[in-house]
Amino acid sequence: MSTITAVDLFCGVGGLTHGLQRAGIDVVAGIDFDDSCEYAYATNNRGIFIHADISELKGADLEALFPKDGMRLLAGCAPCQPFSQLTKKNKKKNDERNSLLRHFGRLVADLRPEFVTMENVPNVRYDPVFDFFIDTLNENGYLVSHQVVNCADYGIPQRRKRFVLLASRIGEIKLVPPDQEKCSLRMAIGNLDPIASGESSPNDFLHRARTLSEINLRRIRASKPGGSWEDWDDDLKLACHKRKQGQSFKSVYGRLTWDEPSSTITTQFYNWGTGRYGHPDQDRALSLREGATIQSFPLTYQFAPTAEDVSFSTIGRQVGNAVPVKLAEAIGRSIVEAAS
């Protein structure tokens, strides 16, 4: 079987790259405009990190990264914010991000690799730029398959729906079916060191929880796994909870449940008040390591060189935006099967 070599556009800290490598694909480079991702990408993966703007790249730039023989894969997860939060207020900014998927399509047409894959939020299917991307693939001789999957079906301890596209110029291709046991939160993070609000583990400086205020400590102590702020006494409830509009957000300030998958990990998972991100029995929000583990990054994955370099906002954004490693591995296995 021919070797498969890949370039990962919009690589971030390497979730997609890491999973593809686990599946046996040689990812020679990851490209991203966010240079804060370089340490994690380069430290944990074999490919080089290239700090570049995708809109300024040409097919020849990518061609130079691939070896002369073997099959090529162009992979990427264009920033999903414009497809998940299309608002009039941010229309100009979203249009600029939208264009990144157009540039992905342009590079596919320039390079014409044997395989293409894209992972994104399900709503990407309803944006006009997606039709452009599909038309580009069809015009260049690709057979395309795509579907929405629940990451929990692929052994990821998280209810997270994602859109996965696979395209091949050498024959049919489709995502491999789930073949792993469902993974609960307990199975994923149950053995990590117990820590308190504002503390970090002496064994892993990424296993660090953000400090809760005194009122939020009282609130989380009154919270039940799988429950909501409705379980609190009235003096603990926020003003927004007492208004009709706020009463529909039941998961905000919620605790997770040990024997179920986690809620979707967002870029704010370390903030207890942004969703159901309370630890099942410790009085704190999820730690950075726990969020990364729920995204199926291995426990050894490094995101910062020292404890002093750990930033909740930076690493939270990197982890929340990443492709779950186990989903990426399933994508990689699909491509390897199609190439054989």
Q: Where are the alpha helices (DSSP H) in 113-213?
A: 128-139, 185-189
80 is catalytic: yes
Residue 23: other Cβ atoms inside 10 A: 18
What is the C-alpha separation between 211 and 216, in angstroms, rounded?
10
What is the C-alpha separation between 169 and 186, in angstroms, rounded?
42
Query: Residue 180 to residues 21, 157, 203, 263: CA-CA distances in angstroms?
Result: 19, 11, 29, 19
Instruction: Exactly one of 11, 37, 80, 183 is catalytic; name it.
Output: 80
Of the candidates 16, 92, 69, the residue with the CA atom closest to the CA atom of residue 324: 16
What is the C-alpha separation between 157 and 61, in angstroms, rounded?
38
What is the C-alpha separation between 147 and 175, in angstroms, rounded?
8
Of the candidates 181, 154, 204, the residue with the CA atom closest to the CA atom of residue 332: 154
Identity of the amino acid at 282: Q
For every residue of 19-60, DSSP letters joined together read HHHHTT-EEEEEEES-GGGHHHHHHH-SSEEEE--GGG--HH
- Give the β-pairing of 48-51 and 71-76: unpaired
Which residues, 6+ apart, have CB-to-CB distance to 185 below 8 Å?
A: 157, 256, 257, 258, 259, 260, 261, 262, 280, 294
Residues assigned a catalytic role: 80
